[in-house]
């Protein structure tokens, strides 16, 4: 007892000392920033707000290498504060990154105030622009793990390997909240649920920034793309959104709030427009909500060329100069210009003529300098490679493998088609069966990820993972189909080969893409691939459909003819191995879908739909009937295992609560099968009657547990008042009296809010 008290006291003292140290450090940094700011000219300040892409400084005759005169002009004459992106032709080694950052740092040291240049990069699934880095599943796969510890660990590794590349700032996590699954960046998000997205966002921010962002193993994160970017009604990238502020607050904003609370150092603004206002021009969204209401103290950076686009695309500005004024007055701190210097020239002029006040410039530069101090860039702006022995190490690769293995989601398994047996003759076919670029997707080595097969030549495609497991001679393979081009002869070849196989593993999906190059007009799987699936299905042999895709391409034309369906999303460099280990039962699958997989293009309801979203069968029908017209191909949260889990004993500690109570919920989960397995336990809550039409159910908590055969664990969740609230017509979070239903697995229980 005495020892416990002493321990508690010691912890309190340490905690207090720690928070005092953070405060002191903040105080010191603020003082340093103020002092430096006071010495700066207007030109030096505006330079800090200017971000330029690295390729602008390259020597065209020597791709990937600087033209010293150009670099000098950018850093010395324009005083630029930040550089981004990957040099040509993509993905330098850590040694080349070190040389690149050294050249930048040397140039910055020649300036009057020696302010370091902040380098930012799209390291979105590992240090994905560095050759030899460990590449993890893309974000949609991270969400499918429902395992925040694993995701945080991955972000720590990603931070380590990015800093090993001498880069201190990553444009991640992606906090977009896609409302149309056709969107080309669906896979960069955490899927369709705001709570799951918030938890994953916090895991990434914590992992990236660590306990001290200035450590040589941490990086500053950048939440993106604030806000509403993923909600275009056309489903096409960078097209307009219409989002009532009530919904923006109830869903999208909560994800940012969680990440800001976790300490996210910066945010990138959405290239889109909401309700007719481009977000880059919205003082309401950037200054009033983000900076004032949410008290965000970090750096607000634009997305690529987005100030110029206010003039050339959105047509809300009369000139580039006018666009700069609008964006800076909306609250932008740094412009990703990024291919010329007009932003700098225009902003200097705007301040001189009194059209932008110096106070706005000082606010922006204070934020930028603070981040540079916090990142310790004044002391340490280039990596010492000796500090990074674990770059691309077996230990890191194992973590990426574990993450891929926990993300891969078994959606259907009829007649135990899976796991496969090593004695079965397997035909591996399909357009995605033998390519690293489809496993990695975009933002891998290059923007569109087209060179993954070269950079990751030592990694296993799905086919190679089969061959490694079974021996090359024991695996039948033919591509069967192209992703787009129809080829009947190739289909026929696959059919003939399939006749000699026991089972078919059919790998379908999508090309590598991101942003507008990934726009589609048809959510169905491409017809060349559907044709292959239908032709093979005529043989009557078990087909295991492996989906390797960034968004749910519709498979309703042939899904009923597939014995098993496995979603592997974009699992990264270790994904082929993890998938094949799952197919053979060496790993028990435990991923769950982070979105509703639609069946039809006009039925894109989310799992947390309103009751009226399935009204098509008629007002007279009872609730159960309404429910039937809502039928996604696979629902949010679907995820099978090779073992079975039984849920029992759902208990709530109070049947009635007041507006100050918490609710403790417990449930027993038993592995009722014969294989050890992991289970993501999901708690949904329904507010049964509310003045704003309630969601049918909403995810409020989750936990991932491991269970040996026969083992039972009691999982405990605590719900708080915020969980009972929604945003009302006056844009206020409120709860209302009445019954709430808790649902976990097949168990349900009500409580009353008095
Ligand atoms: C993308 C951002 C990215 C930026 C920098 C933009 O086109 O929308 O997500 O961070 O480029 O590469």
304 CA from centroid of ligand 1 (Å): 6
Q: DSSP for 330-351?
A: HT--BEE--SSSHHHHHHHHHH
Q: Give the chain's mean pLDDT.
A: 95
Which residues form ligand 1's pocket by a CB distance below 6 Å? Answer: 84-85, 122, 171, 224, 268, 303-304, 515
339 CA from centroid of ligand 1 (Å): 14
271 CA from centroid of ligand 1 (Å): 9
| 271 CA: nearest ligand 1 atom | 8
pLDDT of residue 616: 58
Containing 476, the helix (H) or strand (E) segment is strand 475-478
Q: Which of 174, 303, 581, 687 is catalytic?
A: 303
| 222 CA: nearest ligand 1 atom | 10
Mean per-residue pLDDT, 376-396: 97
pLDDT of residue 641: 98
pLDDT band at 670 (very low <50, low <70, confident <90, very high): very high
**From atom 6 of ligand 1, which residue's Cα is the shortest distance away?**
304
**From atom 11 of ligand 1, which residue's Cα is the shortest distance away?**
304
Residue ranges with strand state E in 158-298:
169-170, 222-226, 266-269, 273-274, 277-278
* Torsion angle (degrees, nearest 10) of CA 384, 387, 392, 398: -160
Residue 26 predicted with pLDDT over 80: no
Residue 406 predicted with pLDDT over 60: yes
Mean per-residue pLDDT, 727-733: 98
pLDDT of residue 618: 46
| 188 CA: nearest ligand 1 atom | 9
pLDDT digits (tens, 9 = 90+) for 419-441: 999 999 999 999 999 999 999 99
pLDDT band at 687 (very low <50, low <70, confident <90, very high): very high
pLDDT of residue 466: 98
45 CA from centroid of ligand 1 (Å): 24
pLDDT digits (tens, 9 = 90+) for 354-375: 999 999 999 999 999 999 999 9
pLDDT band at 613 (very low <50, low <70, confident <90, very high): confident
**From atom 8 of ligand 1, which residue's Cα is the shortest distance away?**
303
pLDDT band at 12 (very low <50, low <70, confident <90, very high): very low
pLDDT band at 14 (very low <50, low <70, confident <90, very high): very low
Which string of b and e fits 517-538 if b means at least 16 CB within 10 Å?
Answer: ebbbeebebbebbbbbbebbbe
pLDDT of residue 130: 98
| 120 CA: nearest ligand 1 atom | 5
Residue 612 predicted with pLDDT over 60: yes
pLDDT digits (tens, 9 = 90+) for 317-330: 999 999 999 999 99
pLDDT of residue 18: 41
303 CA from centroid of ligand 1 (Å): 6
Percentage of the chain lying above the pLDDT 70 cut: 95
pLDDT of residue 108: 98
pLDDT of residue 615: 66
pLDDT of residue 10: 47
pLDDT of residue 602: 87
Question: Do 158 and 207 form a contact (C-beta atoms < 8 A)?
Answer: yes
Give dist(CA 150, CA 486) in Å, integer: 41
Here the tokens at position 249 are 């607050």
Of 134, 227, 216, 123, whose CA–CA distance to 172 is shortest? 123
pLDDT of residue 13: 46
Mean per-residue pLDDT, 495-520: 98
672 CA from centroid of ligand 1 (Å): 46
Give dist(CA 45, CA 357) in Å, integer: 13
Give dist(CA 427, CA 411) in Å, integer: 21
pLDDT of residue 623: 53
pLDDT of residue 233: 87
pLDDT of residue 622: 54
pLDDT digits (tens, 9 = 90+) for 30-54: 999 999 999 999 999 999 999 999 9
For the beta carbon of residue 717, count every other beta carbon within 10 angstroms. 18
303 is catalytic: yes
pLDDT band at 27 (very low <50, low <70, confident <90, very high): confident
| 225 CA: nearest ligand 1 atom | 9
Give dist(CA 435, CA 451) in Å, integer: 10
pLDDT of residue 619: 46
Best residue for ligand 1 mutational test, from 171, 172, 313 (most atoms within 8 Å of Cβ): 171
Percentage of the chain lying above the pLDDT 90 cut: 92
Backbone dihedral angles phi then psi of residue 631, each to the nearest 5 degrees: -145, 80
pLDDT of residue 614: 73
């Amino acid at each position: 007892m005495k020892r416990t008290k002493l321990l508690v006291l010691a912890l309190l003292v340490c905690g207090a000392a720690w928070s005092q140290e953070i405060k002191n450090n903040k105080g010191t940094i603020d003082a340093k920033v103020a002092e430096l700011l006071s010495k700066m000219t207007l030109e030096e300040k505006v330079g800090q707000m200017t971000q330029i892409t690295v390729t602008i400084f390259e020597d065209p005759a020597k791709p990937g290498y600087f033209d010293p005169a150009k670099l000098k002009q950018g850093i010395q004459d324009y005083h630029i504060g930040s550089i981004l992106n990957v040099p040509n032709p993509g993905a330098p080694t850590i040694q080349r990154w070190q040389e690149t950052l050294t050249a930048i740092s040397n140039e910055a040291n020649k300036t009057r105030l020696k302010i370091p240049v902040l380098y930012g990069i799209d390291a979105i699934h590992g240090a994905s622009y560095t050759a030899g880095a460990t590449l993890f599943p893309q974000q949609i796969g991270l969400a499918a793990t429902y395992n925040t510890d694993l995701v945080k660990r991955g972000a720590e590794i990603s931070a380590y390997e990015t800093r090993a590349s001498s880069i201190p700032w990553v444009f991640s996590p992606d906090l977009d909240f896609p409302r149309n699954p056709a969107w080309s960046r669906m896979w960069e998000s955490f899927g369709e649920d705001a709570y799951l997205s918030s938890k994953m966002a916090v895991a990434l921010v914590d992992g990236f920034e660590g306990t001290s962002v200035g450590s040589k193993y941490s990086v500053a994160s950048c939440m993106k793309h604030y806000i509403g970017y993923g909600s275009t009604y056309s489903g096409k990238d960078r097209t307009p959104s219409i989002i009532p502020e009530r919904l923006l607050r109830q869903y999208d904003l909560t994800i940012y709030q969680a990440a800001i609370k976790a300490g996210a150092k910066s945010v990138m603004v959405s290239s889109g427009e909401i309700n007719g206002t481009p977000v880059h021009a919205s003082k309401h969204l950037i200054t009033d909500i983000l900076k004032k209401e949410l008290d965000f103290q970090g750096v607000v950076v634009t997305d690529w060329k987005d100030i110029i686009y206010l003039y050339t695309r959105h047509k809300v500005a009369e000139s580039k100069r006018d666009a700069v004024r609008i964006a800076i007055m909306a609250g932008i701190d740094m412009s990703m210009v990024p291919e010329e210097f007009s932003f700098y020239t225009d902003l200097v002029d705007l301040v001189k003529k009194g059209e932008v006040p110096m106070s706005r410039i000082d606010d922006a530069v204070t934020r930028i300098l603070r981040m540079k101090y916090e990142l310790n860039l004044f002391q340490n702006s280039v990596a010492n490679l000796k500090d990074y022995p674990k770059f691309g190490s077996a230990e890191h690769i194992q973590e990426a493998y574990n993450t891929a293995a926990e993300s891969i989601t078994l959606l259907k398994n009829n007649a135990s088609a899976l796991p496969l047996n090593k004695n079965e003759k397997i035909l591996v076919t399909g357009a995605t069966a033998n390519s690293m670029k489809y496993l990695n997707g975009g933002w891998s080595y290059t923007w569109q990820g087209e060179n993954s097969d070269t950079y990751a030549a030592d990694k296993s495609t799905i086919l190679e993972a089969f061959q490694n497991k079974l021996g090359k001679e024991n695996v039948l393979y033919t591509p069967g189909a192209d992703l787009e081009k129809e080829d009947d002869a190739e289909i026929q070849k696959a059919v003939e080969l399939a006749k000699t196989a026991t089972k078919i593993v059919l790998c379908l999906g999508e090309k590598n893409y991101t942003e507008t190059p990934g726009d589609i007009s048809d959510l169905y799987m491409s017809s060349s691939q559907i044709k292959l699936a239908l032709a093979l299905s005529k043989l009557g042999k078990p087909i295991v459909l492996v989906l390797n895709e960034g968004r749910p391409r519709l498979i309703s034309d042939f899904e009923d003819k597939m014995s098993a369906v496995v979603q592997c999303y974009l699992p990264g460099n270790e994904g082929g191995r993890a998938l094949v280990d799952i197919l053979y039962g060496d790993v028990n699958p435990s991923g769950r879908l982070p979105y509703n997989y639609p069946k039809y293009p006009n039925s894109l309801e989310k799992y947390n739909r309103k009751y009226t979203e399935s009204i098509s069968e008629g007002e007279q029908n009872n609730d159960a009937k309404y429910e039937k017209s809502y039928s996604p191909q696979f629902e949010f949260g679907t995820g099978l295992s090779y073992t079975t889990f039984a849920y029992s004993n759902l208990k709530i500690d109070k049947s009635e609560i007041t507006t100050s109570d918490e609710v403790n919920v417990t449930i027993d989960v038993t592995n009722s099968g014969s294989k050890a397995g992991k289970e993501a336990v999901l708690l949904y809550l329904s507010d049964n009657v509310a003045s704003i039409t309630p969601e049918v159910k909403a995810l409020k908590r989750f936990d991932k547990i491991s269970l040996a055969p026969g083992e039972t664990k009691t999982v405990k969740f605590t719900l708080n008042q915020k969980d009972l609230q929604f945003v009302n017509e006056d844009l206020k979070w409120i709860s209302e009296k009445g019954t709430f239903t808790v649902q976990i697995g097949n168990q349900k229980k009500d409580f009353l809010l008095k």
